[in-house]
Chain A
Amino acid sequence: TQLLEQSPQFLSIQEGENLTVYCNSSSVFSSLQWYRQEPGEGPVLLVTVVTGGEVKKLKRLTFQFGDARKDSSLHITAAQPGDTGLYLCADLNRDNYGQNFVFGPGTRLSVLP
């Protein structure tokens, strides 16, 4: 059974600061996804990465996928209060039944104005 770990568990920073959160898997990712979940809402997909070493940028967010496809990082530049939320990494787990998504426990980010 694949296990995903995320660190740090909690992060509180001031507006304008930079930050990096991490996701590690006990096995090679099939298709790594990053989500952001705001309080009272469902997770919203930010990015999907599949190729080892891949770097994707989404405005102030930079996603890196490790060469061995077992780890990933999300870097936010000049954080804003609107970035506050739970950041989840997930893998698409294909098995004999079809598929499901395996989620990490998340990093809860709070950006203070």
Chain B
Amino acid sequence: GAGVSQSPRYKVAKRGQDVALRCDPISGHVSLFWYQQALGQGPEFLTYFQNEAQLDKSGLPSDRFFAERPEGSVSTLKIQRTQQEDSAVYLCASSLGQGRSAFFGQGTRLTVV
């Protein structure tokens, strides 16, 4: 596609509910990143994929967070048993490879009530 696409744009979840956020990167981009952005803050790194390999998941805040990219294109970020502190915008970005510029999607705004 022309750009990075994320869905849904908005998600309201009840505390304790599981959610899945989808990212469609730019076609041909091997690198894919997930970021979490709290209100009024800059994006915080969550995890990084190169093709289907998850090379870095050091930013995932707890074991309730899980990301996958099984075929090296679409990625899903899953949050289990959501908590209020998980409320944030989740941004996905992709790039052609190491050291190349990253392009961001519009994000998914998650609100946990």
Contact = CB atoms under 8 A, between A and B. Distances in A.
Do A and B truly interact? yes
B50 to A, nearest CB: 6
Interface in B76-111: 91, 93, 98-99, 101-107
B59 to A, nearest CB: 7
B45 A42 contact: no
Interface residues of A, number: 27
A97 B104 contact: no
A99 B44 CA distance: 14
A106 B101 contact: no
Contacts of B56: 95, 97-98, 100
Contact of A43 (B45, B59, B99, B104): B104
Contacts of B93: 42, 101
B42 A99 contact: no
A42 B55 contact: no
Interface in B44-67: 44-45, 48, 50, 55-56, 58-59
Contact of A41 (B35, B43, B44, B106): B106
A44 interface: yes
Contact of A101 (B55, B102, B105): B102
Interface in B7-64: 31, 33, 35, 40-45, 48, 50, 55-56, 58-59
A4 B45 CA distance: 14
B91 A42 contact: yes
B48 A45 contact: no
Interface of B: 4, 31, 33, 35, 40-45, 48, 50, 55-56, 58-59, 91, 93, 98-99, 101-107
Interface of A: 4, 31, 33, 35, 40-45, 48, 88, 90, 92, 94-95, 97-106, 108
18 contacts: A33-B101, A35-B104, A41-B107, A42-B4, A42-B106, A43-B104, A45-B101, A45-B103, A88-B42, A94-B98, A99-B98, A100-B59, A101-B93, A101-B102, A102-B45, A103-B42, A105-B42, A106-B42
